[in-house]
Amino acid sequence: MAQGKLSKEETLAMRNRLIGQSCRLFYSDRPVKIVRARGQYLYDENGERYLDCISNVHHVGHCHPSITKAAAAQMDVLNTNTRFLHDNIVLYAERLAATLPEKLCVFYFVNSGSEANDLALRLAQQYTQHQDVIVLDHAYHGHLMSLIDISPYKFRKLTGQKEWVHVAPLPDTYRGIYREDHPDPGQAYADTVKEIIDGVHMKGRKISSFFAESLPSVGGQIILPKGYSVKVAEYVRSAGGVFVADEVQTGFGRVGSHFWAFQLQGEDFCPDIVTMGKPMGNGHPLACVATTVEIAGAFTANGVEYFNTFGGNPVSCAIGLAVLDVIEEEDLRGNATRVGAHLKDLLKKLQTRHEIIGDVRGVGLFVGLELVTDREKKIPATKTAALVVKRLKEEDRICASTDGPWESVVKFKPPMCFSMKDAELVVECIDRILTEIKANDLKLDKKDI
């Protein structure tokens, strides 16, 4: 069994010396060294097994044999860049096209979600000849400078907001400005985007795009209210802009009922640009931008070649094709629907016994558990959420993490092979931890802020 070449202490010491300290580890006070993985399980250097509740990258399961086989077979034959004709890229593009609305039929292959979003920004600006971008509050779209600029989650800690970037309220019906009790939160939140567009026009500026995750994840596992995207797209298009759906976290069937999370907004809704990444290559760096003939045409018309050394190479595309096969063959969307519903049900039952659980939300295997110290005031229980994650790892060997503006949402985005038993185990462990926290009257978070 793989042990790793170095002891855990040696690895950590070398990492501290050689790797930039802003590249943080999970569980930085007591990091875990993982030496192998399979399915939804990770194994440390002592052979201890951890249940992975958060890796939405290893979508069809860690080290899936069909994926490694496809990669090795293609690697053994050819790997070039895309300036030679090759079957894999076109066959893969055709398979992706079959999952998307007909209009989204031109593809650019890249190596990461950040590259995909950076290219989407360029496409939108080139097509519209406008500069300004509207994004959702707390959003994260990637680590390139262009994307830090459109990621409130990052730019607030760094350079601040650029004059061409506009932040719309997060359409969060649990703690946002319009909540479950609003008669039409989708319309109300869309109107906030319309107000931004009007304000931008008053300043003599023009909107190139509205850029949003189809289910905001860093924002706290948010489910967009019904009708929101359709209305926003209408407002943005009438201002001459385009709608970009960031599906980097949510694509490839994670929501179960649909292949893409934007489809939750209705069969008629179609973005102008879709970006995809993380799950696409099951851990291999593979990402993509899908768009319309018109937008791609405008990009070509600028006369500048788009060349991406590794994007769409034969090995990446062989892996991408194998991922699509496994999703189908193993009915992973069906599994996400069934297991996700069971997980949500169990967490909802837990909510009736634990006052600290403010909200349980999600769709398919994209689920969030929001902890609050006071259900009325919805005060985030940030420290309790951190303690739950820590104890799940230390006591139960379960890897979970937190998200949301206050890091008070325990998130679940496991590999799609996550089982009913896995869901039951996680909920049992959370129940035990919350019961003990209550019994010991650990007042980790203040009731008032």
Ligand X SMILES: Cc1ncc(COP(=O)(O)O)c(C=O)c1O
Residues that bind ligand X (CB under 6 A): 112-114, 117, 140-143, 213, 217, 246, 248-249, 277-278
Closest to ligand X by CB, 217 or 408: 217
Residue, CB closest to ligand X: 113
Closest to ligand X by CB, 113 or 253: 113
Minimum gap (Å) between residue 439 Cβ and ligand X: 37
Torsion sign (Cα): 115, 118, 124, 125: negative
- CA gap 342, 44 in Å, rounded: 29
Closest to ligand X by CB, 194 or 284: 284
Closest to ligand X by CB, 248 or 399: 248
Contact 194, 184 (CB under 8 A): no
Closest to ligand X by CB, 43 or 155: 155
Closest to ligand X by CB, 141 or 391: 141
Minimum gap (Å) between residue 147 Cβ and ligand X: 7
| Cβ neighbourhood burial of 84 (10 Å; 0-12, 13-18, 19+) | exposed
Contact 168, 196 (CB under 8 A): yes
Minimum gap (Å) between residue 320 Cβ and ligand X: 15
Minimum gap (Å) between residue 143 Cβ and ligand X: 6
Q: For 239, how many CA atoms within 13 A lie in the half-sphere containing its CB?
A: 30
Question: What is the DSSP secondary-structure string of 212-259?
Answer: EESS-STTTSPPPPTTHHHHHHHHHHHTT-EEEEE-TTTTTTTTSSSS
Question: What is the DSSP secondary-structure string of 174-187?
Answer: TTSSS-TTSS-HHH
- CA gap 123, 154 in Å, rounded: 23
Minimum gap (Å) between residue 288 Cβ and ligand X: 11
Minimum gap (Å) between residue 345 Cβ and ligand X: 27
